[in-house]
Chain A
Amino acid sequence: MKPFRRTLAGRLLADPQAAIAMLIIAALVLAAVFADLVAPYDYSAMNLADRFARPSADYWLGTDNLGRDTFSRLLQGGRIALYVALTAVSVSALIGLALGMIAGYGPRWLDNVLLFSFDTLRAYPTIILALALAALLPRGLSTVIIVVVITSFSEYGRVVRTQTLSLKHAEFILAERAMGAGFGRIVFHHLLPNVLGPFFILAAMNLPVVITIEAGMSFLGIGVPPGTPSWGATLKDGFDHIRTTPWIIIAGGLPLILVTLGFTFLGEALRDQLDPKLRRGR
């Protein structure tokens, strides 16, 4: 059995950047999971007498235009952000993984068709697609997730296809084939484990992007319905009153900054640990 410090988790914890990232992510995840216990107020409770209250002992991050506690709403917003990010990234990653392997390992004509589809989708601006879909679909988290899935699975597909292509003619794969290994064995025992490294790095790096897309859509008014405490909605509330109550937009931006830093650091650390070339270079 390998000592802990030589496992992936051990190596990550030994990396200060990765340790900080995991600390931030753990704090955000715990805050979101236990939001109902941690939040000092009901996130939807309106109190017009206390609207636009400055940060204080009563309201740690102040209140918004309807007198709702910003801190409680941000905690609840963390749930939404994580739900959207994990769901959208999981779905798009799985679709991308499957299509990418099919493209890389399948016949040439299928590769061309899928590659054309990936490039077409990747070329489409996310926000424009979001605006178009928002006009067609009911507003809500599911629409946000659909937008993210449509715009991001091709990225996974591209990466996995490239990895699969580079492995397809590798000697050990040819040897397996020569020994009579079937399609399933080659794909699931040899190709899949070898493409998972870059795949996970990309997924980790994409989590904050997805959270930002959700926040962006909510900021533009095409994300979650009004009243839903997403981080983007808090940013929008803050922007609407930025001249009078700048603390709302600052508070709304903080978790986005933290989550972006956390997942980006983690993604970079994962890349450093999982990419053999980078490891050799150390």
Chain B
Amino acid sequence: MTSSRQRPLAGINRRQLLAGTAGLSALTMLPVKAWAEGTQLNVRAYLEPDNFDPLNASGFLEELLYGCIYRKLIQYTPGDDWGYQNDLADTIEQTSPTTIAFTMKPGQMWSDGYGEITAEDIKYSMERHMVEENNSRIKPDLGPFSHVEVTGTHSGIIHLDKPFAPIWTIALPYLAGTVVCKRATEEAGGKLDSAVPPTVAGPYRVVEQRLGERWVLERNPDFSGPTPDFERVDLVVIVDESAAEIAKEAGDVDFTAVGPGSVQRLQDTPPEGTTLSLHPSLAYYWIGLNVNHPKFEDIRVRQAVQHAIDVPAILQAAFFDVADPATGIVAPGLIGHRPEGLIPPQADFAKARALLDEAGIDRLEINIDVLNNVTATTTAQVMQAMMSQAGIDLNISVHESGSFWSLGVESDGDRWKDLELTLKRFSMTPDPYYATAWFVSDQIGDWNWEQFSNPEFDKLHEEALSETDTDKRDAMYRRMQDLMEESGAYRFITHGATPNLYDTDIVPATRPDGLPLVQFFRKA
């Protein structure tokens, strides 16, 4: 692989990904306001970022923060195509299936007198995830990473134990690729989770945390890149989508994701001075059935449930028709996406009834556990109404976030054994490995709440990690999703969509799935 400033990722074409998606402009006729010097950008965060230490990062909220205050060798390129661009790296290339050589731009500085960013920082930042006692939550993102060999102040070689295809899509441009300052971290005792980090390298630095309200960031005067357009960036914590939308229209935030239910209204009567953009999401929603629950031991019962779930009705009611049915857990445009699933999205109540009859069940009473958000509860209510036509009585149990996400976790009690149906949404990165990783046998009692266990699936998951032939890899991930669906444990719903609402006087930068890359935001 040759060095490049910007290149598309293999097999991912944004235009394909954007089929059926349009940028929906709601443009005001008023002239764009002139930005005054020292302006402030307010971006909504849907939850509080966990902390400053990549060891403890759990998802996109941390990425939102880290993108502002830290740097990486490479970063996702904002825009419509999945790709990456060099950040600290001057050149970076795959020199063999298990080695990646890089050189760094000289003169890239840490703030507060911590000196230059060197290859030693890269080595330290990546290898600390592999140290057992550090309990890194994102260690799996690095796959078979072995170590970094420092060959000079600004150069090194990343060594893998075996080929790892997601190195370019997940490991380097996402959370695990975040570079922290070796000296500062060691001075802090090896962890950065207790307070604002003593040094940063990104365009902004955190000056204030108002927990539950906002994180205040200001320009980092020691940033070695181009001066960012905004003097101050506030990450405004607003959990509820409706509240975020109201905040946007009140001028309290400049950029926010909105709920699918608002898209039609915002298209029809756009608020003055705002733009709506709609992006296909990589996330995936599905209904999972616990195959080890006594009610679902007979595969015909599981299949009956699969056929009794009407995906188009769910998409109409809960997603307001802004999202398409999913064929699996891998979104369109990614390696491993299936053009069609094995079971059509439409329900087949007669077939479901027949399967129940075959299984000797007259009326099936089951329970679904869902989160207490409007999308989940609406989905469950649609299911409840539709499934009764197939002789299935569905009870709905709603949980707040903390309670819900511990349901299937073995270490949190015995509830994981009693789960029947669950509706879940997992976020995703642009590599299918990140989707299948949660459904291997080892994940039972952790994230594999369906307790799905298939030796062929596990084997394919391992092999696909090292497979560098794109076509072969594509076939492997398709087969894995076939196995999931054939087990009767999964009914795939949708990947959803990400509608963003923002001021016309900013130029937002987003990943192709619509998630913001705040460090690249500009004034119009």
Contacts and interface: CB of A to CB of B under 8 A. Distances in A.
B385 interface: yes
B511 to A, nearest CB: 27
A263 B381 CA distance: 33
A61 B242 CA distance: 22
Contact of A240 (B261, B380, B397): B261
Contacts of A240: 242, 261, 374
Given A139-B397, A239-B242, A242-B242, A226 B380 contact: yes
Given A139-B398, A221-B372, A48 B317 contact: yes
A241 B320 CA distance: 12
Interface string A257-281: 0000000000000000000000000
A243 B398 contact: no
A135 B403 contact: yes
A65 B395 contact: no
B316 interface: yes
Contacts of B146: none
A244 B384 contact: no
Interface string B217-248: 00000000000000000000000001001100
A44 B388 CA distance: 12
A225 interface: yes
A66 interface: yes
B9 interface: no
Interface in A229-269: 239-244
**Size range of the chain A interface in the assembly:** 20 to 34
B242 A66 contact: no
A226 B265 CA distance: 25
Nearest to A131: B400
A10 interface: no
Interface string A18-58: 00000000000000000000000000101010010000000
Interface residues of B, number: 25
Given A240-B242, A244-B265, A66 B398 contact: no
A66 B397 contact: no
A46 B314 CA distance: 12
Contacts of B317: 46, 48, 51, 65-66
Contacts of A225: 395-398
A240 B259 CA distance: 10
Given A226-B380, A226-B398, A244 B262 contact: yes
Contacts of B366: none
A227 B381 contact: yes
Q: Which of B262, B400, B403 has the most CB of A within 10 A?
A: B400
A46 B382 contact: yes
Contacts of A242: 242
A227 B398 contact: no
A176 B384 CA distance: 64
A243 B265 contact: yes
B382 A66 contact: yes
B316 to A, nearest CB: 5
Nearest to B386: A46
B316 A48 contact: yes
A226 B377 contact: yes
Contact of B242 (A44, A46, A222, A243): A243
A241 B403 CA distance: 26
Given A221-B372, A226-B396, 4 more contacts: A65-B261, A66-B385, A135-B403, A222-B400
Which 5 A-B residue pairs are closest in the complex by CB-CB distance?
Answer: A221-B372, A226-B377, A46-B385, A240-B374, A244-B265
Interface of A: 44, 46, 48, 51, 65-66, 135, 138-139, 221-222, 225-227, 239-244
30 contacts: A46-B317, A46-B381, A46-B382, A46-B385, A48-B313, A48-B317, A65-B317, A66-B317, A66-B382, A66-B385, A139-B397, A139-B398, A221-B372, A221-B398, A225-B395, A225-B397, A225-B398, A226-B378, A226-B380, A226-B398, A227-B381, A227-B384, A239-B242, A240-B261, A242-B242, A243-B262, A243-B265, A244-B262, A244-B264, A244-B265
